[in-house]
Amino acid sequence: MHRRNVIAATFAAIGGLFAATNSARANAAPDKLKAVYHLTDLDKVDFVSGNIRNHIEGVGGPANVTIVLVVHGPALKAFHAASVRPELLKRVADFSKAGVELSACGNTMRSQQIALKDLVPGFVVAEQGGVVRIAELQSQGYVYLRP
Protein backbone atom coordinates (compact mmCIF):
# COMPACT_ATOMS: atom_id res chain seq x y z
CA MET A 1 0.00 0.00 0.00
CA HIS A 2 1.25 3.44 -0.77
CA ARG A 3 1.82 5.99 1.94
CA ARG A 4 -1.09 8.17 0.69
CA ASN A 5 -3.47 5.22 0.75
CA VAL A 6 -2.44 4.37 4.33
CA ILE A 7 -2.99 7.96 5.49
CA ALA A 8 -6.34 8.18 3.67
CA ALA A 9 -7.49 4.87 5.15
CA THR A 10 -6.47 6.03 8.65
CA PHE A 11 -8.45 9.25 8.34
CA ALA A 12 -11.43 7.35 6.95
CA ALA A 13 -11.34 4.95 9.91
CA ILE A 14 -11.10 7.81 12.40
CA GLY A 15 -14.02 9.58 10.72
CA GLY A 16 -16.11 6.42 10.81
CA LEU A 17 -15.35 5.90 14.49
CA PHE A 18 -16.28 9.53 15.24
CA ALA A 19 -19.58 9.20 13.35
CA ALA A 20 -20.44 5.96 15.13
CA THR A 21 -19.73 7.50 18.54
CA ASN A 22 -21.90 10.54 17.80
CA SER A 23 -24.70 8.32 16.48
CA ALA A 24 -24.62 6.24 19.67
CA ARG A 25 -24.81 9.40 21.78
CA ALA A 26 -27.72 10.72 19.75
CA ASN A 27 -29.67 7.48 20.25
CA ALA A 28 -28.89 7.20 23.97
CA ALA A 29 -31.41 8.33 26.58
CA PRO A 30 -30.89 11.97 27.53
CA ASP A 31 -29.44 12.79 30.92
CA LYS A 32 -31.93 13.57 33.65
CA LEU A 33 -32.58 17.31 33.79
CA LYS A 34 -31.39 19.14 36.93
CA ALA A 35 -32.70 22.57 37.88
CA VAL A 36 -32.36 24.86 40.89
CA TYR A 37 -35.09 27.42 41.41
CA HIS A 38 -34.07 30.54 43.34
CA LEU A 39 -36.90 32.15 45.34
CA THR A 40 -36.40 35.27 47.40
CA ASP A 41 -39.43 37.49 46.62
CA LEU A 42 -42.53 36.93 48.75
CA ASP A 43 -44.80 38.07 45.94
CA LYS A 44 -43.40 35.39 43.60
CA VAL A 45 -44.05 32.33 45.79
CA ASP A 46 -47.17 31.25 43.87
CA PHE A 47 -45.57 32.01 40.50
CA VAL A 48 -42.43 29.97 41.26
CA SER A 49 -44.35 27.06 42.76
CA GLY A 50 -46.52 27.05 39.64
CA ASN A 51 -43.39 27.01 37.47
CA ILE A 52 -42.05 24.01 39.38
CA ARG A 53 -45.36 22.14 39.02
CA ASN A 54 -45.40 22.94 35.27
CA HIS A 55 -41.74 21.91 34.94
CA ILE A 56 -42.42 18.49 36.47
CA GLU A 57 -45.49 17.95 34.29
CA GLY A 58 -43.73 19.30 31.19
CA VAL A 59 -40.95 16.73 31.31
CA GLY A 60 -43.31 13.81 31.89
CA GLY A 61 -43.10 13.54 35.66
CA PRO A 62 -40.64 13.60 38.53
CA ALA A 63 -38.66 10.63 37.23
CA ASN A 64 -37.32 12.85 34.44
CA VAL A 65 -36.09 15.82 36.46
CA THR A 66 -34.28 16.68 39.66
CA ILE A 67 -35.43 19.99 41.13
CA VAL A 68 -34.17 21.94 44.11
CA LEU A 69 -36.02 24.98 45.41
CA VAL A 70 -33.78 27.32 47.40
CA VAL A 71 -35.74 29.84 49.46
CA HIS A 72 -34.27 32.80 51.29
CA GLY A 73 -35.08 36.35 52.24
CA PRO A 74 -38.70 37.51 52.52
CA ALA A 75 -40.05 34.51 50.57
CA LEU A 76 -39.27 32.17 53.46
CA LYS A 77 -42.11 33.78 55.46
CA ALA A 78 -44.62 32.11 53.11
CA PHE A 79 -43.42 28.72 54.35
CA HIS A 80 -43.78 29.35 58.09
CA ALA A 81 -45.99 26.52 59.34
CA ALA A 82 -48.02 28.84 61.58
CA SER A 83 -49.16 31.04 58.70
CA VAL A 84 -48.90 29.00 55.50
CA ARG A 85 -51.88 29.13 53.15
CA PRO A 86 -53.61 25.74 52.64
CA GLU A 87 -53.07 25.70 48.86
CA LEU A 88 -49.34 26.35 49.30
CA LEU A 89 -49.13 23.65 51.96
CA LYS A 90 -50.71 21.16 49.54
CA ARG A 91 -48.33 22.16 46.77
CA VAL A 92 -45.30 21.76 49.07
CA ALA A 93 -46.55 18.31 50.07
CA ASP A 94 -46.90 17.40 46.37
CA PHE A 95 -43.35 18.63 45.73
CA SER A 96 -42.01 16.51 48.57
CA LYS A 97 -43.76 13.44 47.12
CA ALA A 98 -42.23 14.26 43.72
CA GLY A 99 -38.73 14.39 45.22
CA VAL A 100 -38.22 18.16 45.01
CA GLU A 101 -35.60 19.26 47.54
CA LEU A 102 -36.88 22.23 49.53
CA SER A 103 -33.92 24.12 50.91
CA ALA A 104 -34.24 27.01 53.38
CA CYS A 105 -31.40 29.48 53.81
CA GLY A 106 -29.83 29.08 57.25
CA ASN A 107 -28.91 32.77 57.36
CA THR A 108 -32.51 33.80 56.67
CA MET A 109 -33.77 31.37 59.30
CA ARG A 110 -31.48 32.94 61.89
CA SER A 111 -32.53 36.48 60.90
CA GLN A 112 -36.22 35.51 61.08
CA GLN A 113 -35.51 33.66 64.35
CA ILE A 114 -37.09 30.41 63.21
CA ALA A 115 -36.05 26.77 63.40
CA LEU A 116 -36.64 23.97 60.92
CA LYS A 117 -39.64 22.81 62.99
CA ASP A 118 -41.24 26.22 62.36
CA LEU A 119 -41.34 25.62 58.59
CA VAL A 120 -43.77 23.40 56.72
CA PRO A 121 -42.63 19.75 56.56
CA GLY A 122 -40.19 18.81 53.82
CA PHE A 123 -37.60 21.56 54.17
CA VAL A 124 -33.91 21.05 54.82
CA VAL A 125 -31.54 23.76 55.99
CA ALA A 126 -28.84 25.22 53.75
CA GLU A 127 -26.54 25.89 56.70
CA GLN A 128 -23.99 27.88 54.70
CA GLY A 129 -26.71 30.01 53.13
CA GLY A 130 -29.05 29.90 50.17
CA VAL A 131 -26.68 31.50 47.69
CA VAL A 132 -23.91 29.10 48.65
CA ARG A 133 -26.30 26.17 48.10
CA ILE A 134 -27.24 27.55 44.68
CA ALA A 135 -23.58 27.90 43.69
CA GLU A 136 -22.88 24.32 44.82
CA LEU A 137 -25.74 23.02 42.70
CA GLN A 138 -24.63 25.02 39.66
CA SER A 139 -21.16 23.50 40.00
CA GLN A 140 -22.88 20.09 39.82
CA GLY A 141 -24.55 20.91 36.52
CA TYR A 142 -27.88 22.28 37.73
CA VAL A 143 -29.55 24.88 35.53
CA TYR A 144 -30.20 28.10 37.46
CA LEU A 145 -33.75 29.44 37.25
CA ARG A 146 -34.96 32.62 38.91
CA PRO A 147 -38.46 33.33 37.64
Pick the CATH number of 31-145 from 3.40.120.10, 3.40.50.300, 3.40.1260.10, 3.30.70.240: 3.40.1260.10
Return the domain boundaries, the chain: 1-30, 31-145
Please tell me the number of Cα atoms within 13 Å of 132 on its side-chain side. 10
Phi, psi for 92 (deg, rounded to 5): -60, -40
Mean pLDDT by 10 residues, the chain (147 residues): 57 53 48 94 97 95 97 97 95 95 97 96 96 97 95
pTM attached to this predicted model = 0.79
> 48-53 — which CB contacts under 8 Å span 24+ positions?
48/147, 49/88, 49/91, 49/92, 49/95, 51/145, 51/147, 52/95, 52/100, 53/91, 53/94, 53/95
Residue from 88, 94, 124 nearest 109 by CA? 124
* Sequence-ordered list of residues with C-beta below 8 angstroms from that of 75, at least 6 positions apart, any chain: 39, 40, 41, 42, 44, 45
> What pLDDT score does 34 carry?
97
> What pLDDT score does 23 carry?
47
Cα–Cα distance measured from residue 57 to residue 142, given in angstroms and rounded to the nearest whole number? 18
> What pLDDT score does 7 carry?
59
Cα 143 to Cα 12, 21, 67: the distances in Å are 38, 26, 9
> What pLDDT score does 29 carry?
47
